[in-house]
Each structure stands twice: as structure tokens, then as C-alpha cells.
Structure 1
Amino acid sequence: MDTLQELSARFADAVWSTPLVMLLLGGGIFFALRSRFLPYRHFSHAVGIMLGKHDTPDEPGELSHGQALAAALSGTMGLGNISGVALAIVAGGPGAVFWMWVSAMVGVATKFFTCTLGVMYRGEDSLGRLQGGPMYIIREALPRAFYPLAILFAVAGLVGTLPIFQANQLTALIREQVFPQTDPTLTGFGIGCAMAVLVGIVIFGGLPRVARVAVALLPIMVVTYLGMTLTLLAMHASEVPALLGAIVRDAFNPQAVAGGLLGVILVGISRGAFSNEAGVGTEVMAHGAARTSEPIREGLVAMMGPVLDTLVVCTCTALVILLAGTWQDPQGLSGINLTANAFRQDFGTTGVVLLFGITLILASTTMFTMWYYGAKCFGFLFGAGIQHHYRWFFVGTVIFGATVSIDVVFNLISGSYGLMAIPTMVATLMLSGKVMAAARDYFRRHPY
């Protein structure tokens, strides 16, 4: 296991180096400037689209705008918002949160461009069904010489979309916070089997069932979790300004954790991408299934993801952890247990039980959505006709994730996310002019 942990760490570190961070951060800034901040200026129109004011039932696609956003958010608003933030603070200190904010702000423009392209360049799979995603964008819109980038995305996507992180952290919370057991291996295997059954029941129902489950559960999760965090922060309101100041101050501290200033930036941007997935390309697959013939509308809906995900939910989590001071705990807690201990300080066992319920919803909805992403990658590589076999493999990896260490799991997923971002961002930068031409046409016809 130590060898696997070392190899996974080397893999993640090699991928999340300065060039990739510059690609994501610089690309997002480029999109914001090239669009003259168009996504930010039309946020109210995006809300109207999400609420269904412009839905047309007979347009191509599987999901409404709201369902597509819910399906995408059920993938992004997962345990990255709870345990991923904890991992970021442990690795990079409070300053990492600032760079997560930066990734979210530029991620608004990135998601607008990537998800607009996801609808503009949908392609047919081997069964003739309309599909969206970076691999189809590359295949349909770029010269044949770039096709290896499509393969790279799909291969990395098969690993990056596995449910092992969600299974791992849900197991850790149950085993160490809710029902401590004397045999962690047996407990992890048992919990993994139970989760595998739950996931199998849903994903064998297909994408429409995933969307219905996400739409039903996601608002409950958001309201409950934000209610918990805001209540706790209100109890310590006088301390919040100092915490925000520490986040900004440590973001530019050359002596900060994780190898100084560059280390903090790398941690913050990588954890931000893990949370909101802007530029990674997974969200493009969900939004590419939207029922619309107006690509710009879907891009506008998609851009709300980083705001809701990182600027709101992740910030609440970060403040709770920093308020408790548990990130500096000598016991070496990390991930979901670090966040759970922070809630336990003020809410006791009740806080842990509530967090467990929220985590169960988060982990479940994320795993449901990740199956859809992985299945699309599998179908692209091997043919949609045998895509249904992927479900069995996906369900099996739930058990694997529940029984291995958090470091191995997180490094595998994080490194794969980084590999997925390379073809997604390269293709989007090359096709950004197509998005702007479509945007000018859309707002000429719909002058809001």
C-alpha cells in the first residue's frame, strides 16, 4: 500500500505542476477578457434560463436546463465541498482557500465557454445517439491531428470519474465518527458493499433517473448544509473577519505551508478545480445533454456552478474548519473527519449525525453522476453498444474506494482530473472564437 501511495502521489504532483495551473488560470482569464466579461454581466438572464423560462420541450437533448445544471452540480457539489476543502487547508494552509476563490471566479468564464461548446459540437456515438463532451468537441470541431486529445480525455475520464473518493470519505465518516468499529477493514468492505447496491439501483435506471434523483436531493443538501454552517458562523460572527483576513494574508505569504507561495497557489487551484470542475470537462458532458438548440443558453446556466459550488459552499466549509482550528490538530486528521470534528466542537454528536446525512446525499448524488460521465468515456472508446457493461465495473470500484487510504484515492482522482483538463482547455482555447460568434448572434436575437 505504501508503494501505491507513493506512486499515486508522484502521479498527482507531476500532473498538477505549474504548466497545468497556468493553463487553467491563464485560460480562464483569457476567456473573461475575450468575452469582455459577458458571462458575469448576464447572470440574471442565466437564472431565468435555469428556472425554465426558455425551455422548449421539442428541442434536441435529454435534460432541461435546470436538470442539466442539477446533474452537473450533483457531480461538483460533492465531497470536494466538505472533505476536499479540508484537504486543501491541511496541504496549503488558509491561503489555499483564496486561490480556490480565484479558480471559481475565472471558472465562471471557463464554464461558459466549455459548456457552450458542449452543445455546439455534440456528436453521435456508435449507436447514433447525440452526445456531448470534450471528446466529441475535439472529434467534431478540430482537425484529425488533434484526435489523440479526445482519446486522452476519455482514458483519463475513466479513472477521474470513478466513485472511489466519495466511497472512501463516506466510509471514513461512518467508521470513525458515527459507528466506530474494532475491525476497520471489515467495516469498510461492508459499507462499500452497501453503497455499491445503492449506486447500482440508481444507475441501472439511466440518466433520466440520475437527473430526477439529483433534482430531488440536491436542494435538500444545499439548504441543510448551509443552514448548519451559517448557524455556526453566526455563533462566532466576531471571529469571521479575522479568518477572512488570514485567508487573504496567507495567500501571498512566501513562507506559507506547501512549499511557499507557489505551493499554496498550486494547492488552491488544483483543489478548486477538483471542487467546481471548471476546465476539467466533466461538466461539459452533463450540459451537453441539455435539451436546447441554443448553446449560449446552456453556457450561461453552466457558469453558475463555480459560484454556488466554490464561492458559497466551499467558503462556508473553510470558515468552519478555520474557526475550529482543527486543521492544525496534532492527531493528523484530514478529509471528512477534520470537517466532522469542526462541527462536533459546537454541535456535539448532533452535528456529526447531520453531517453524515448530508454526506450520504452528497456522496450518493455525485456517484450517480460520475457513472454517467464514465459511461460516456467508455462508450466513446469502446463503442456505445457495450457501454452498459461499464456499470458493473463502476459499482465494483465503490467497494475498492471504501477499503483503501484517502491519499491513494485522492491522488488518483486529482491527477486524472488534471489530465482531463489538458484536452478540454486546449480545445476550448482553439475554439473560443466560435463561442464569441455564437454569443454575438444570440444576444442580437435576444437583447435582454
Structure 2
Amino acid sequence: MELMIKGANEKVKKMDEQQNNLKDFVVKELEKLKNMLKQLAECYQLMRGGETDLGAEIEEVRALYRKEMLQRKLLYNQLQELRGNIRVFCRIKPDKSSCLTVSDESISLVNVHGKKMEFEFDKIYDQKVSQSDIFENTKPIITSAVDGYNVCIIAYGQTGSGKTFTMMGPEKDPGVNLRAVQELFSVAKTREKVTFKITAQMLEVYNEQIKDLLRDPKDPKPVDIIIRIMGKTVKIENAVETEITAPDDVKKMIKRGDVNRHTAQTKMNTNSSRSHLLLKINVEITDKVTGGRTVGSLTLVDLAGSEKIAKSGAEGQTLIEAAAINKSLSSLGQVFSALRSKSVHVPYRNSKLTQLLQPSLGGDAKACIFVNCSPLDNNSSETLSTLEFGQNARQVELGKAGQNIVAGPGKPPGAEAGPGKPPAAGAGPGKPPAAGAGPGKPPAAKK
């Protein structure tokens, strides 16, 4: 065991070295690119109005720019692939007593049979960690959404374990949701030669129905939310989609939608979420130089907590809600089990939650899962289930992530493809079939 741990530590150190080398290289290449464009602008200003034709020089610089941009994206995504397309973090809720034993590499507890159970995660956050520390290791995959990838961040755990605090957080110390949007704008604004458009939807899955949290609850017209899976994208029809021009817009939107979310008081939580919350952000980037366009998405998920009815004291409507919550969480676990075993059939259609998450877990996306744990002795069985879920998810291999690229003006689809380009969605062994595929039914047409 000591040799295994030593070998694992050496691998982690080597990966960190590779990561730092790649970061340094990317920074240097971007600096070279900026200087090159600056020189072009100065040259053009000096010679404008003269007889010299700068067309060939400009076209040459444009070609170099395309090459640099492609190389930067390949390097960055190579860096992410070294760390895995699905990462699982464990966060422990602060409390005076604890049934957990925590180290830098692992977390353990003793089950009802007296056996010590040990689990390893990409990162374990103890009870003293801050919201900014939590986000630090999540930040890198946010850049991938700007580059045209599907990215998903999920908080999982029993009711009262701190999922909503991790994702939403208080106004003065926000969680992952607001920090992720701030990072999106920060990354997009550093790219001088692109235009970007960011839109958002806020939904909840309540009793196996999708509710639009941005729609006025007093609106007398009933609206059915329809899910359409098209290749690597999910279209949510009849749901309000708001354009976001600044992080403050998201703050107002979340505040507005949170008022409409279903919550209730239970014995385990005074403000228990009775639904799964999804904040879906779409990022469309258009390159001013090449005309190429990428469409990425960032799905932020605050799952309702799993709960034992005997502990939560749920009855009446809350009992119905608890049954629906546990059923959908069970369906999510089945999806991860199927992905881990590379099953031909992945049961995405078993719940509305897994249907909405299919593009984010369907084999060519990037995902991050927070498993939130309560350290209390009387919650040890639920904590064990949470840790087992996280361990199961960590063993899933999503495969190489693929960009959602739209060809530039005058280019046929796929014109950007080249050496080292990720394969098209649906390609590769162990890939789950496209939504809607089945016996006697052809796979969905690729976009």
C-alpha cells in the first residue's frame, strides 16, 4: 500500500510539473501573439495611404493567428486531460464532532460492521476551507466553456450537508455559481479579438417536472417545458432565456429565481430544498479574425439532498417530494454506474434530471462533482453512501472532450478540423448512443 501511495504521489508531482510547464508555454505564446498583432497595427498605420499592398502580409499574420489560437486551445485542453475530464472533490461540513478521519489524500470512516472504509478523491476540503479555496480548483474548467465545451459542476450529498452553501453561498461570500459566472466574463474579456454573448436559464426539477424559475409564478398561462437532445446540446424549449451582460445580472437573476424554488422545513434542515436546481449558461464566442464560432455551456447543479424518511420526518407533500428526490438521485447513480462499466445503454431517460444532464455526462464533456459530507456520528450511514457515490463517479471515464464548433463564413462544417482535433461527438469505442437511438431506430443525425 505504501508503494502504491508513493507511486501515486510521484505521478501527481509529475502531472503538476507538466501543468506548470504548459501554463508557462501558453503565457509566452500569447505574449508573442500580442506583440505580433501590435507590430502589424503599427506597420499598417505607417503605411496606410501609400502604394504598398499589405494584403499578403495581413493574410500571413491572420494565418499565424489561427495557428496560435488552435495551439493555445490544444495545449490548454491537454492540460485538463492530464487531470481527467471528470473530477470529484469532497467537502466536509463544519461541526464540532466528526466520524471522519481526513488526510490530504484520503478520507475514511468506520461502517456499522466496524470495518474501516477509505476513499480517495481529487481534492478533500476540511472544515476550515473558504469559499474562494473551494472555487480555486474548479476555476480551470470554466475556461473550457469559453472554448466551446460542455462543462458541468454538480453538488451532491444528503440534506443539510452544505450543497446549497457550496453552490449559492451567502451574498457576502458567494459560492461556485456566482464565482463561475464572474470567471466566464473575466476570461472572455481578456480575448481582444472575439465577441461573446452569454445567456442563462434557471430551472428546477420538482416531482419529476421541470419548472422555469424565471417565469412569473402569477402567469395564468400554463407552459410545458420540453427537453430536446440534439447531438451534444440540450435545448430547453418554452423556458425563459435571459442575456447576461455583467455578473450583477446573474446575481439579480439568481435572487429572482431562488424566491420561486420549492423549499420546506424538515427535522434535518430548516430550509430544505425540495427540488434539483439547474443554472444553465450558454457562451457563444465569435472570432473577429477567422469568423469561426464556438458555443459552449456551463451547467451548475445544486441537487436536492438524499434523505431517510425516518430522520427527516417527511409526511404529506414533503413525503411525496422526498420520494421523487430519492428516485431521481438513484437514476443519476445508475447513469454513473453505466458510464463506469462502459455499458452500451446508459439510462438517461429514467428521470428528468438525467435527461437534462445528458450532454454534460454523455462522453465528451467536462464535469466536476462536489460530494458534501456531514461529519456527525448519527449521519455516518448517509455520509458513507455519499462517499460511495463520489467514488463511483470518480471512476467514470468520459473520454476526450469535444468542442462545439460552428464553421466561419465561407467555410464548410468541419473546416477547422485538423491534427490533434478532438473526434466528433459519438465517435469512439464505449460511446453511449445518441439520444433517441434504439432497436430499429437509426441514431440521431449529427449536427
Whether these two folds match at TM > 0.5 is no
TM-score of the pair, normalised by structure 1: 0.23
TM-score of the pair, normalised by structure 2: 0.23
- Which has the higher Rg, Structure 1 or Structure 2? 2
Higher relative contact order (CA 8 A, sep 6+): 1
- Which of the two has greater strand per residue? 2
